[in-house]
Amino acid sequence: MLKLSNITKTFNKGTVNEKRALTGVNLELADGDFVTVIGGNGAGKSTLLNMIAGVYPLDSGVIELGGVDVSRLSEPARAKYLGRVFQDPMRGTAADMWIEENLALAKRRGQRRGLAWGISAEEKEEYPKLLASLGLGLETRMRSKVGLLSGGQRQALTLLMATLTNPQLLLLDEHTAALDPKTAAKVLKLTEEIVSERHLTTLMVTHNMADAIRLGNRLIMMHEGNIIFDVAGEEKKSLTVPDLLQKFEEASGGELTNDRMLLS
């Protein structure tokens, strides 16, 4: 479903601010893989997701999605294959538009037709049902402005929107990190449900090691721009947080102090 071959990215090349963010990443995801991604600050996790989404041009390497080489496609051209949810609940939805309009826009992602044609009767039946599945009471607020929702409600809506067109790949970048623990747990549960119901291939960055172990069928750890640990199936399930910490310390030479991974 996703194949990354030797992906490299250096920011600000040739300046004092030069930063090698990705140093030759290889990764292959099978259809339906749900992969959690952990690693310290600046390890390259967000950059990896940004490169897949086409936010920055590649320095070298090849990105294939469903067997198609998308390495040179622009970010908008790749958007129709991808669903994305970021850490910031303010991104991913339009605050000044109604819930129903946001969903309708998500549904038309990658199409030329805008909202000028209006929202169909079919959609008006479909959306409340989808919203009801979130269990947040949003189904009765189709014409509330999204800006009035709480961070958790907004992130749940973003998740729904990102997965509405069954993307080939779902990219989640610490999408619950800005939420309070209770809301974060709820949005994570929703994530699990949506991913398994729709059999979505997913990459989920988290700084919570317990979540990284509990969710998904595979876990990768990044450090200094590359994947240093890749574990799946039963071996992943039997991992413990101390195991992961030890792996990380081995790889980073004990640099782990003061890292967010430790705080969760």
Stretch that binds ligand ATP, among 35-43, 71-79, 127-135, 249-257 (CB under 6 A): 35-43
- Stretch in the footprint of Mg ion (CB under 5 A) among 1-9, 40-48, 52-60, 118-126: 40-48
CA angle, residues 131, 173, 97, in degrees to nearest 5: 40
Name the residue nearer to ligand ATP (CB basis): 34 or 86: 86
Which residue in the set 5, 8, 24, 42 belongs to the binding site for ligand ATP (CB under 6 A)? 42
Our finding on whether 54 is near ligand ATP (CB under 6 A) is no
36 binds Mg ion (CB under 5 A): no
46 lies in the binding site for Mg ion (CB under 5 A) = yes
Candidates 42-50, 78-86, 132-140, 230-238 — which segment interacts with ligand ATP by CB under 6 A?
42-50
CA-closest candidate to residue 204, choices 164, 238, 163: 163
Q: Where are the alpha helices (DSSP H) in 166-259?
A: 181-198, 209-214, 233-237, 241-252
Asked if 146 and 98 count as a contact pair (C-beta separation under 8 A), the reply is: yes
Bridge partner residues of 2 (DSSP): 29, 65
Helices (H), the chain: 45-53, 75-79, 99-107, 121-132, 151-163, 181-198, 209-214, 233-237, 241-252, 260-263
Instruction: Output the smallest distance, CB 78 to ligand ATP, in A.
Output: 18
For tokens 């640099």, the residue is 255
Smallest separation, CB 198 to ligand ATP (Å): 26
Applying CB under 6 A, the span of 11-19, 115-123, 181-189, 247-255 interacting with ligand ATP comes to 11-19
201 or 206: whose CB is closer to ligand ATP?
Answer: 206
Beta bridge partners of 42: none
Site of interaction with ligand ATP (CB under 6 A): 11-12, 19, 21, 39, 41-47
